Structure 1
Amino acid sequence: MIADNYEQIEAIVLNVSLLALFLLMGYAVHDVLQKNDVPKVGRYVAYGVLFLGSLGFIAKGIIQLFFTSSGV
């Protein structure tokens, strides 16, 4: 059974790992910004860059989903 679902299990583990990585990066950025008294504008920029980085992975997943469902 595991051999049949190997690719699906691998994709799920990769997505969960990326989610955990981005959550940990967000926590690290939040901690650094909190300790150094960064102004609001700097916080918005830092969180925006982190969000845009994760948005690329989300877009990749959506595009990959469309390609696999259409048979490409």
Structure 2
Amino acid sequence: MLSEHFELIETLGMNFAIAILFILIGLAIHDVLKSGNVPKFGRWFVWLVLFLGCAGFIAKGIIQAFLEPGL
């Protein structure tokens, strides 16, 4: 059973690991912004860039799911 679904388990594990990495990066950025007294415009810009990075990762996953044969 495990050997039949190894690729699916590997893909899901990698996606969860990358999601956790994005969360940890977000927490680190939040801490740096709070301790560095960054102006409000700078904070919005940093969070926008982080959000766009996450959105790009999610869009890549969705595009791959629709375009790759055999899924």
* TM-score, with structure 1 as normaliser: 0.90
Counterpart-to-counterpart distance in 1, 2:16 and 2:46: 23
* TM-score, with structure 2 as normaliser: 0.91
- Structural RMSD (CA): 1.2
Structure 2: runs of 5 or more not aligned: none
Aligned length: 70
Residue 48 of structure 1: aligned partner: 48
Instruction: Give aligned-pair identity as a percent.
Output: 49
Q: Which of 1 and 2 has higher RCO (CA within 8 Å, sep 6+)?
A: 1
Q: What does the per-residue CA deviation read over 1:6-40, in whole Å, with 9 as the maximum and x for residues that have no partner? A: 11000100110010000000000000000011111
Structure 1: runs of 5 or more not aligned: none
Counterpart-to-counterpart distance in 2, 1:34 and 1:13: 32
